[in-house]
Chain A
Amino acid sequence: MEERPGTADRSSAERSGARERAGAERSGVQERSGNIGRPTGTKLRRHTGSPRPSRNGCFGRLPVRVRLGIILRSMWERPGGRFALVIMVLWLAVSVVSLAWTPYPLLFTDGDHAWASPTAAHPLGTDGVGADVLSWLMAGSRTDLAIAVLTVLVSAVIGLALTAAMVSNRRWLATSGVVVVDALIAIPTVLLALLFAVPFGASVAVIVAACGITYGLNMARIVRPTASLAARSAYVEAARASGVGMWRVFFRHIVPSTFPVLAVQLSMSAGTSILAEAGLTYLGVGVPSSVPSWGHSLTTSVRLISVYPLTVLWPGLVVTLVVTALYLLGDAIRDCADPLANPRLRQAAGGRALVRVGSLAGRGAGRVTDAMHDEEAES
């Protein structure tokens, strides 16, 4: 019984969670007031070590593989998610393949057939030095994949560190965190990249650093309201009161509650980093000239766009497809990996819980599933 929160408690927590996502201060207040009536309930949960009563109470216990399966299946059923998944898989596959094989070696040039139209030998034509456009785009996909992944990592680290500072209960740290973010957020990515490129020269690291820092700041700024809401919630206060460490509270309770915002922000970072790579490479502060990337392909072909518009189409198309897919991926992850938004996750978890809880208290479990069905109908 201790492992299962009371029915009323659970649904109220879910409701408050849903409002949290809307970002309403009100819900926090409501949760606090709601919990005032049941202080013992909260405390009980803490003692049992259940990780996330408000959201993951039923979610944390699902095996990773099952959870992943459900998430992917849900994503696949949404048109946007399916598009994103297909493009992501293709992107990964092409990147891996390009490590071992491209139709032509990257060093291949043939000046006699520069700016050729698509033919059987060169499906996407050739560029200004007679190199195969397809080969360069394939090889470029791995550079851009690396840039996107690294940017997401760097911006996540910076963003979460700043968020942690801003929602800290040390007042000076929180205030200075807010000031720092507000001040630095004004620096544009391009300017930062130019600043880095002067001493270090054009490189992938410059793109990742510039994007990582600016997107991290953006993310911190956007995540902060949700995170501070969670930080002031009763369960966090309770966790702190029961002696849970600062970092554990942050990563177990605050970060997961910001998951929807995080998913969208990070996928935006990934998508925008691809655009930034193209733009910065065009400006000459992105990837160096011999490294294949989509920005490189765009830059070399855009020089003669008024005569050979077709050559610039291919890298443009690839960038557009991938960036759109990344943006949609974020939305899909938010909708499908969040048990509040995805009833299937709750169902699966609920079903499992039902078996276990049912043997202990059939009545309560029955009402849990009822409440879930209600919400499913709503959504």
Chain B
Amino acid sequence: MVQSNGAHGMSDATETDTTAQATARQERGEENQQPRVAADASTNVSTDASLNAHAKQRKSGRKPIIWVIAALVIVALVACCAIVQTHARKAATPTASESIAIGIKLAPVSLDIRNQSGSALEQLLIGNVYEALVSRNSNNEVEPGLAKSWTISDDGLTYTFKLNTHMRFSNGDTLDATDVAWSINQLKAKQYYNSDQVENLKQASAPDATTVKLTLSKPDANMLWYLSGRPGLVFDKDARYDAKTTAIGSGPYLVKSFDSSSKLVLQANPNYWGSAHKARTNTVTVRFLPDDNAAFNALTSGDVQVLSPVNANMTGKLKSSGKYTVKATDGSDKFVLAFNCTGAKTSDKRVRQAIRYAINHKEIIASRGGVDAALGGPIPSVDPGYEDLTGLYPYNPTKAKELMRQAGYSTSHPLKLTLTYANVYGSELGEQLRSQLSRIGIDLSVNTVEFSTWLQDVHANGDYDLSLVDHAESHDFYKWTQPDYYYHYDNPQVQALYGKALAATNDKDSARYLKQAARMVSEDAPADWLFAYRVSVAQVKGVTGFPSRLTQSVLPLWKVAYTPVTA
């Protein structure tokens, strides 16, 4: 269980040497076991042979000698093997493994983080392969990244970043302020993915090699946070590479190989500029395991040492085996049951409120393994402006029925609604909602479709009654201020409050305005927040340093290490 993290380079080296020898010996020992089995078989054969020998007496003189020699050799080998093994055991002290494998659910389609959507890309590459101007800690707060400090002007329109010195990309190129300014200006010019998050950013410039200046068109309290994500990533302006299959960044890891159907292999970057985030494990393999059962088997068979997420219904078996630690981690995933606010039937606020009263969140969470958290509003617990709003619409079927009656529906004269959602979320949620809403006079037909169909029909065209999706993004409250987003939610008061929150120059005020706005949204019932999905992470005992929060959005792996527990 001793861990050496490169603090003492020399001792580390000697330790790895002994490990190498030990493993070599162990391997030899294992190989030697096979001849032993073979020997058993050959002894059996020898009985047959001696029987045969009785029938053919001529050869009987030679054979036993051969077998005696063979037996002696085998005994000698077994003895050697036993001695070597005891020695090996004495020599072997638990040391950190050179590699670790991690199982995640969704695979990125390509590695082109500037153009390709998908949260798996951010999760895997940001902080590991690419680094942003600032980084994000496990509390979802901004902390220094490539920039070691920054100042914001009083009007909130100028950000000045002081960069670290002697920074290099994995190809050896130096990383300085010109790369940062180039990356951010390219983002704006070419409208790369998520460039809309930093709409208020006007321009980036590099007064000197370690200073970056950002000018904004209007104050934006979220700017720093967004710069810790895709918009703040710094690319090498001189490097030419195929961004879809490989990556050249400044992070602690290099992309060794990538196959979107199976795995991404990360290798420690030998040229890494910093010391704080230096990779502790040489090779990290990230396997993509979309099927729950396959993922479970990969963990139990030792193919992966960490599984994130693991289906919460499966964790009981893992916990009871004693070999794994399982914990549920907070994140920004919100399962949003959106009601089309301009839809023919759901524009009636009473119907929307009735649905919220009719949903038994406790039961839904229980059926999913009981680890998810109830969520009553649009802001998750890890974001600024969070407030427990579950009290606004508690489970109350009587009230729901009354509201439905006022709207002109009853169980004998039900309201027909269609719920459209992507089949990746499984049929269970749809069935539960159908069952729970049937009790208040809603005849819900559940339409599970391909994710692409959902994107087209609901997300792009806004053509739906009810929709269910996991909005995994953090800091995404602004969607409720855009009437053309598929929620079709249009409340000028909320928009004004959000504007104030953005313009606020201190975080406290900003959070206060967000809190008010979130409460207002929840009261209007444009959606029901079924639950905040808490990702369960299972890891073999001996794994350390795996992130314990927000694992779905940022997954810094530099700290991860694995020391196999030897029996």
Contact of A289 among B297, B311, B363, B430 (CB under 8 A): B430
B313 part of interface (Cβ distance < 8 Å):
yes
> Any chain A CB within 8 A of the CB of B4?
no
- A111 touches which one: B296, B365, B448 (CB < 8 A)? B365
Q: Are A109 and B426 in touch, CB under 8 angstroms?
A: no
**Contact A110 B431, CB 8 Å, known A290-B445, A306-B293:** no
B370 to chain A, nearest CB (A): 9
* Residues in A whose Cβ lies below 8 Å from that of B426: 128, 300, 303
A112 to B370, CA, bound (A): 9
Nearest-CB residue, chain B, relative to A112: B366
Task: Give min CB distance, B262 to chain A, whole Å.
Answer: 20
Residues of A within 8 A of B317 (CB): 306-307
Q: Does A290 lie within 8 Å of B431, measured CB to CB?
A: yes
Chain A 95-128, CB within 8 Å of chain B: the 1/0 string?
Answer: 0000000000001111110110000000000001
- Residue numbers in A under 8 Å from B271 (CB-CB): none
Known contacts A114-B366, A289-B448, A290-B446: A304-B293 contact under CB 8 Å: yes
Question: Do residues B311 and A304 form an inter-chain contact, with CB atoms below 8 A?
Answer: yes
A196 to chain B, nearest CB (A): 15
Give complex CA distance A289, B423 in Å: 10
What residues of B have a CB within 8 angstroms of the CB of A288 in the complex? 446-448
Tell me whether B215 is interfacial, beta carbon within 8 Å. Answer: no
Identity of the chain A residue whose Cβ is nearest the Cβ of B300 in the assembled complex: A306
In the bound assembly, the distance between CA atoms of A18 and B297 in angstroms comes to: 55
Chain B residue at minimal CB-CB distance from A302: B293
B297 — which chain A residues lie within 8 A by C-beta? Answer: 306
Which residues from chain B contact A284 at a C-beta distance below 8 Å?
A: 423, 448
- SS class of chain B's interface: helix, strand, loop or mixed? helix
Known: A112-B363, A307-B317. A290 touches B293 (CB 8 A): no
Complex Cα gap A302–B428 (Å): 13
B436 interface hit (Cβ, 8 Å): yes
Contacts of A107 in B (CB 8 A): 434-435, 438
Q: A107-B434, A305-B293, A307-B296 are in contact. Are A128 and B316 (CB under 8 A)?
A: no
B313's partner among A109, A115, A131, A289 (CB-CB below 8 A) is: A115
**Minimum Cβ distance to chain B for residue A282 (Å):** 11
Give every chain A residue within 8 A of B427 (Cβ-Cβ). Answer: 289, 296, 299-300
Give a binary string over A4-37; 1 marks a CB under 8 Å from any B CB, 0 the rest: 0000000000000000000000000000000000
A302 to B435, CA, bound (A): 21
Binary CB contact string for chain B from 403 to 427 against chain A (1 if under 8 A, 0 otherwise) = 0000000000000000000010011
Is B367's beta carbon under 8 Å from chain A?
yes
List chain B residues, Cβ under 8 A from A289.
427, 430-431, 446, 448
B503 within 8 A of A: no
Closest to B438 in A: A107
Answer yes or no: B123 CB below 8 A from chain A CBs.
no
Q: Are A131 and B293 in contact (CB under 8 A)?
A: no
Number of A-B residue pairs, CB cutoff 8 Å, is 83
Given A304-B311, A306-B314, decide whether A290 and B434 contact each other with a Cβ distance below 8 A.
yes
Cβ–Cβ < 8 Å partners of B27 in chain A: none
Min CB distance B533 to A, Å, is 15
Q: A129-B428, A284-B423 are in contact. Are A307 and B316 (CB under 8 A)?
A: yes
Q: Which of A109, A114, A307 makes the CB contact (< 8 A) with B435?
A: A109
Q: Shortest CB–CB separation between residue A328 and chain B, in angstroms?
A: 32
Distance between Cα atoms of A307 and B316 in the complex (Å): 9
Contact of B296 among A112, A115, A300, A306 (CB under 8 A): A306
* A303 cross-chain contacts in B, Cβ below 8 A: 292-293, 311, 426
Q: A129-B432, A289-B427, A303-B292 are in contact. Are A111 and B313 (CB under 8 A)?
A: no
Does B360 interact with chain A (Cβ within 8 Å)?
Answer: yes
- Distance in Å: Cβ of B252 to nearest Cβ of chain A: 34
A111–B446 alpha-carbon span in the complex (Å): 18
A308 to B423, alpha carbons, bound, how many Å? 22
Instruction: Using known A-B contacts A129-B431, A290-B430, A307-B317, determine if residue A111 contacts B360 with beta carbons closer than 8 Å.
Output: yes
Residue of A nearest to B363 (CB): A111
Q: Chain A: which residue is nearest B444 at the CB level?
A: A290
* Closest A residue to B311 using CB positions: A304
B167 within 8 Å of A by Cβ?
A: no
A203 to B348 alpha-carbon distance, docked (Å): 32
With an 8 A cutoff between CB atoms, is B364 at the interface? yes
Q: Chain A contacts of B438 at CB under 8 A? A: 107
A111 to B365, CA, bound (A): 8
* Cα separation A308 to B430 with both chains bound (whole Å): 21
- Given A129-B428, A300-B427, are A110 and B363 also a contact pair (CB < 8 Å)? yes
**Shortest 4 CB-CB contacts between residues of A and residues of B:** A111-B363, A111-B367, A114-B367, A109-B435
Q: A111-B367, A290-B445, A307-B296 are in contact. List 13 more A-B contacts (CB 8 A).
A: A109-B436, A111-B360, A111-B362, A111-B365, A111-B366, A112-B363, A128-B313, A129-B431, A131-B431, A284-B423, A284-B448, A289-B446, A306-B296
Sample of 8 A–B contacts (CB below 8 Å): A107-B434, A109-B363, A109-B432, A111-B366, A111-B432, A114-B366, A305-B293, A308-B313
